[in-house]
Structure 1
């Protein structure tokens, strides 16, 4: 059965664009123009995912995020402040897309979030991104069939990204995974680890980064890189 998507946005033109895009992609779509209606629709219809604008007429969309779980919550908003993106993720949003958006990117983000939510306990033992293989159980990383040497912190950061393949992981979450209770972990340390991972995992050339930077927020491991 097709996944059911609740579109929450106060602009009728945006709702219409999202409805047409989602229906064409094979989803069932319901709509809400404000926070009160969104909560009513979520309770009555039990959508699989919710595309949520933050600038609603009756309440801030951020306050709705914990109330809309366990559905997938994908923020689709013109707000692009870093602190709001981090707050949305910390409150439980699965991802965010900034307006104006590319519809194909939005659909890709939605597919990833739905896939992750529907099988949260079935992360494969080996995650593959192009010719890079990440064996989460054996802590082995290979590229093109050859094993790579990673430091403990490099692997710990990469493992978190692999478990959330295609989804943004915040700086704080990555720092906690790699540095744990160490005193004063800094984003600068994380940047060094990410730079080293890119040097070891990525091929030179214009193909795009395997580890994408969400400026000021965190990083995402791209399954299509």
Structure 2
């Protein structure tokens, strides 16, 4: 899961980024409208958390641009304004949810999970493949009720493959799901994560296999 966080307050952005990363999400941070527009153009995000008061404009001006490129991508607007008219303006502009500051990080995470469960977000709360069950809301993998503990990036690889179960996922798409704009990606880093994940799935008798498509990407399939 890759999130675009548009927030200019340094302390707030750092706290939210840390919280999202603890839930195994990849976070790209944009502190201005201009930087957010550049990030949006990459078309790599699963949801947007958007502050209204930005140094170079109102965050709501970004929503039509996000919608024109990413359609139903979930958008949660953050603002220090809490009056009814302001909340209505945010929702009418196309936001999926609206959260006034100050707020508890746990509430933001709960709202994010909620919008991702809607039809325009995740198509299903859970998915089963072979003996493996993946809970998209809580970022958890299990096999017949036993938790499958995975490092963050292996979990992100598994999630990206499960979203496209039975189809080839391009290397570039996997890299977009696992790394943010600031990460330095070694040439074989993705292959290392996939290799380790493949061994753990086999060792846990998950009933699924990862197939490499040379020069293209990877494919997750149920074992026959």
TM-score normalised by L of structure 1 = 0.50
Q: Secondary structure at the match of 2:103?
A: coil
**Aligned twin of 1:65:** 63
> Which structure has more RCO (C-alpha within 8 Å, separation ≥ 6)?
2
Q: In 1, Cα distance between the equivalents of 2:36 and 2:112?
A: 18
8 A Cα contact 2:74 2:121, kept in partner: no
C-alpha distance after superposition, 1:120-162 (max 9, x if no partner): 7x8xxxxxxxxxxxxxxxxxxxxxxxxxxxxxxxxxxxxxxxx
RMSD between superposed Cα atoms in Å = 1.8
How far is 1:42 from its partner? 1.3
**Aligned twin of 1:34:** 32
Q: Aligned to 1:118, which of 117, 121, 134?
A: 121
Q: In 1, Cα distance between the equivalents of 2:77 and 2:11?
A: 17
Q: In 1, Cα distance between the equivalents of 2:65 and 2:43?
A: 14
Q: In 1, Cα distance between the equivalents of 2:55 and 2:112?
A: 25
**Aligned twin of 1:86:** 88
How far is 1:45 from its partner? 4.7
Between the two proteins, the alignment pairs up a number of residues equal to 120
8 A Cα contact 1:54 1:75, kept in partner: yes
Does residue 51 of structure 1 match 2:49? yes
C-alpha distance after superposition, 1:189-216 (max 9, x if no partner): xxxxxxxxxxxxxxxxxxxxxxxxxxxx
Q: In 1, Cα distance between the equivalents of 2:15 and 2:42?
A: 24
Q: Aligned to 1:76, which of 78, 93, 96?
A: 78
8 A Cα contact 1:65 1:88, kept in partner: no
**Aligned twin of 2:101:** 99
In structure 2, the gaps of 5 or more residues are 125-224
C-alpha distance after superposition, 1:144-192 (max 9, x if no partner): xxxxxxxxxxxxxxxxxxxxxxxxxxxxxxxxxxxxxxxxxxxxxxxxx
In structure 1, the gaps of 5 or more residues are 123-225
